[in-house]
């Protein structure tokens, strides 16, 4: 998977570079190459990379809930019974 993503990124950057190197007389063709390269990066490479990197992770660890906020602050996770429904 790593090599497929790398190949897509290299091809996409090559298309973008080739599109910028075309002469002004071929502006429509240059725009197509730049657009295809951009689509390759953002619609193929980025989703594949994000899937590969987050495959074995628990999404619950990344959600912002009261338990995780307390853990970030370094506070104890326990709740006193007399302060459950009160705000600050």
Look at the alpha carbons of 53, 58, 64, 69 in this order and tell me if their dihedral is positive or negative. negative
pTM exceeds 0.75: no
Q: Are 79 and 66 in contact (CB under 8 A)?
A: no
| pLDDT tens figures, 40-86 | 999 999 999 999 988 888 877 777 888 888 888 886 655 556 665 55
Distance between CA 51 and CA 9 in Å, rounded?
15
Q: Are 40 and 14 in contact (CB under 8 A)?
A: no
Please tell me the predicted confidence (pLDDT) of residue 81: 65
Please tell me the predicted confidence (pLDDT) of residue 57: 80
**Count of alpha carbons within 13 angstroms of residue 75, beta-carbon side:** 10
| pLDDT tens figures, 8-44 | 999 999 999 999 999 888 999 999 999 999 999 999 9
């Amino acid at each position: 998977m790593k090599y497929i993503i790398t190949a897509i990124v290299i091809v996409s950057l090559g298309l973008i570079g080739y599109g910028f190197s075309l002469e002004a007389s071929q502006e429509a063709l240059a725009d197509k190459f730049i657009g295809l390269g951009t689509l390759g990066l953002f619609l193929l490479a980025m989703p594949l990379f994000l899937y590969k990197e987050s495959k074995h992770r628990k999404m619950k660890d990344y959600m912002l809930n009261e338990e995780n906020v307390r853990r970030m602050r370094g506070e104890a996770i326990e709740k006193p019974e007399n302060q459950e429904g009160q705000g600050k």
